[in-house]
Amino acid sequence: MAPGSSRKRRLILHFDARNTLFVADMRFRLPIEEALNSYITGLIWGIEDVESHEKNENNPIQNGLEKTPHTIPTEPCRPNKQQILEEIDRNKDANRTDGGSPVRLTGTLDSFHDDDVGHQHNHLQNGKNGCLHPRNPYTGERFQDLTKEELHACRHRLNSWKCLPESPCIRQPRPDAVSLYKLLEQQIVRQPADRGRLRKYLGNFTQTPEGQQFLHLFQNHLEKLRWPDVNGTAHDTDEMYIAPVSKLSVIGLDNQRYHYLMPAFYRLMSWLMHTGRQFAIVLRTYGQDGSHIVSAIETYLQGHHPTEKPNPSVAESLVLDQAHWRLKRDTKAPQFTLCKCDAQTCDGSGECVSGEQAIHQTWSNWNGVVSVQDDFVYWQSNHYDHRAAKPMWFNPKDREVQHVFFDDNIRFDEDKTNGIDLIQLDTTDVNEMNFQSYRPTQSEAAQWENVYFVQADLLQIINNPCYFVEKITECEHNLDVIQGNV
């Protein structure tokens, strides 16, 4: 595309899943209330007093955090079935926007034993049919309650941590600030399976005394995620209505339906189709959410979404790739291999592309919606270092295609736990195989923000239906400036 040209580039838009496209997944690993609470703790920043932390190791009674045993229980509870059902009823008040009384959303719900209600351990209530809905964790993922010792350790750590007034915000407000989530992650997570336990523990944060000041923030955003009753309650038992809605929504602890994918994402797709853009949506997940997201997009394209409507003429021809793509990483050549698999198990016998330039070019040629599962094991085995994360290749000299990656876990803090591995390709001819690639330094990479990547702000995504459209417009404008097109 020549300088000054009005022709738009092809857009290849990469999306992380959790906390970017959805709050709660379809597997019911965490209900939406717990997931939103857990996310908010990542926006609450504070300063840790090291000397106070050392004193608290020997003196657990500090700082007024032991306001009530309800704040952080010292022992696991054993509620009976009636207590669980009463807890669910009270949760309805907790999610009102009119200041309903705060209650615990988690903690007691999953701590009963097999002899209480049959074999119902690690289940949650689904009020649509009165049964207990099982959590469905990934392999190796756990959602058990913290032990008594872990709870004491968390209390000691919190006593040495002071919240900053800049909270909530997605950016680290000062170099020595640590988020509440990161603070307790350091305390609790000893192995990957512990992350589920941490998120479950933080799942009622705004309903506790220390999180009370953020309760309205939680309630307001939960309310905005509520599924609109545009067709009336009479459709609740209509199978023709329930079938598509079940692919577009999730059920919360209050027995209400909530949006599965963010309406802002559907608004982006509608905008891309209405403006006649050439584009591809590349779903970049570490887990197994790709098929659920593709199914929700397909239902939206069929016109079933209550507020976001696609362009019918374009929707019919939009390609939905049902294949399962996997991107494998290795320390030995080839370091990157992209394979197309017909099943969840991928042995590499199908269509494969190897090498940075080849994979980047493959993505640049894609159309429609494609799901790619990134290599979580590789990232995990490299201690979540950004150089082992989801690769994102970009070429500032490419005037035909622009890649943009949306992920909430993009940070340039000292711990280097970015969710993306930003790699610059240096070639004028985008089809040229003689190229160089290198990783920008953390400070250099930050200069490409809102050009080739965006740190997704979930609360803004919930608040603003045009969030993704505005961000894409900003990214395109910034690249125009860099390439001298304006």
Is position 279 within any domain? yes
Q: Are 53 and 195 within one domain? A: yes
Amino acid letter, 118: G
Q: What are the pLDDT digits (tens) for 419-469?
A: 999 999 976 655 555 668 999 988 898 899 999 999 999 999 999 999 999
The yes-or-no verdict on residue 197 having pLDDT over 60 is yes
> Which domain-ending residue is among 197, 224, 251?
224
Structural domain count, the chain: 2
CA angle 24, 278, 465 (to 5 degrees): 35
Alpha-carbon distances of 435 from 46, 357, 402, 439, rounded to whole Å: 44, 8, 18, 14
Are 280 and 345 in a shared domain? yes
Clarify whether residues 295 and 427 are in a common domain: yes
Name, of 83-92, 112-121, 267-276, the range with top average pLDDT. 267-276
- Quote the pLDDT of residue 237: 52
Q: How far is CA 240 from CA 103, 256, 295, in A?
A: 36, 19, 16
CA neighbor of 304 nearest in space, from 240, 252, 371: 240
Tell whether 286 and 409 lie within a shared domain. Answer: yes
* Beta pairing partners, 46: 163, 178
Lowest mean pLDDT segment, chosen from 12-21, 59-68, 186-195, 246-255: 59-68
Q: Tell me which residue of 281, 267, 271, 274 sits closest to 368, measured CA to CA.
A: 281
Report strand pairing: 249-251 vs 453-455. unpaired
Q: What is the pTM of this model?
A: 0.82
What digits encode the pLDDT tens for the residues 116-130? Answer: 323 333 555 544 444
Phi and psi at 11, nearest 5°, equal -110, 125
Q: How many CB atoms lie within 10 A of CB 185?
A: 18
| Residue 283 maps to a domain | yes
Answer whether the bond into residue 334 is a cis peptide, omega within 30°: yes
Dihedral of CA atoms 192, 194, 196, 197 in degrees, nearest 10, equals 180
Cα separation of 178 and 48, whole Å? 8
Residue 93 has pLDDT above 90, yes or no: no
Expressed as residue numbers, the domain containing 123 is 32-224
Same domain, 291 and 344: yes
pLDDT at 190: 87
Mean pLDDT, residues 270-293? 95
Helix ranges restricted to H, 355-441: 356-365, 376-381
Q: Show which of 178, 209, 224 is a domain's final residue.
A: 224
Half-sphere CA count of 476, side-chain side, radius 13 A = 17
Per the prediction, the chain carries an average pLDDT of 80
Domain boundary among 224, 245, 274: 224
Kindly state the average pLDDT of the residues 385-392.
Answer: 94
**161-163: strand order across its sheet:** 161-163, 45-48, 178-179
Whether 101 has a pLDDT exceeding 90, the answer reads no
For residue 94 the two structure tokens come to 């907790």
Q: What is the pLDDT of residues 209-254, one digit of tens each?
A: 889 999 999 999 999 999 997 655 444 555 556 789 999 999 999 9
454 vs 475: CA distance, rounded Å: 9
Q: Is the pLDDT of residue 361 over 60?
A: yes
Strands of the 436-438 sheet, one edge to the other:
390-394, 420-426, 436-438
118 is a domain residue: yes
Res 163: pLDDT: 94
CA 293 to chain centre: 13
- Same domain assignment for residues 192 and 94: yes
318/200 same-domain check: no
